[in-house]
Amino acid sequence: MSWLEIAAVVTSFAAIWLTARRNMLCWPVNLVACALYFKLFLDVRLYADMVLQALFGAGILYGWVLWARGKADTGEVAVQPLARGPAAIALIAGAAGALAIGWFTSHYTNAALPWIDATLTSFSLVAQYWAARRHAANWLAWIVIDTAYVGMFVYKGLTLTAGLYAAMIALAVLGYKNWMTPRHPDSSG
């Protein structure tokens, strides 16, 4: 456990908690968390997850703009339903991305866990896209993804990060509940 991992864990936890609350501060805090984890994943040779952090950075900017534009009359971020067709397309894209990234990292890098790293990276992009589009289904995806991440991080000796991802599973459950519950105009977010 390093100071870098500790800082990344604390920042990420704050960012996910803010996201679950639909608080706009989640976006800049998430940017800082991405930068910290980019460096950490570089250090432990989880290259697909390192690249994922850079892609998350772009996705965060995209989500920040969409959330700023997607507020209800009450001022809160409005949750949007996810139709079956777009959901299926996103899941197929996630699977195709996992195969492409896994093949590349298993053939052209010294990645520690190329296939699981690639799969989790690809489906994390799907979940991030759904979060940016304000779909509550993003939380269900994160529950599955984060459960697998816990195992990978334990295996890699990133115990604190594994603990963060275990906590993120609980935050995802709370996030899903929060996003599925209508909020009152006087509630804070």
Q: What is the pLDDT of residues 139-184, one digit of tens each?
A: 999 999 999 999 999 999 989 889 989 999 999 999 999 989 866 5
Residue 189 binned pLDDT confidence (cut-offs 50, 70, 90)? very low
> Percent of the chain beyond pLDDT 70?
94
What's the whole-number mean pLDDT along residues 118-127?
A: 94
Taking phi over 0 as left and psi of -120 to 50 as alpha, with beta for the rest, 183 belongs to beta
Q: What is the pLDDT of residues 28-73, one digit of tens each?
A: 999 999 999 999 999 988 887 898 899 989 989 998 888 888 776 6
What's the whole-number mean pLDDT along residues 61-86?
A: 84
* CA quadruple 27, 31, 37, 42: dihedral, nearest 10: 140
**Domain boundaries defined on the chain:** 3-180
Write down how long the chain is: 189
For CA atoms 64, 50, 122, 164, the dihedral sign is: negative
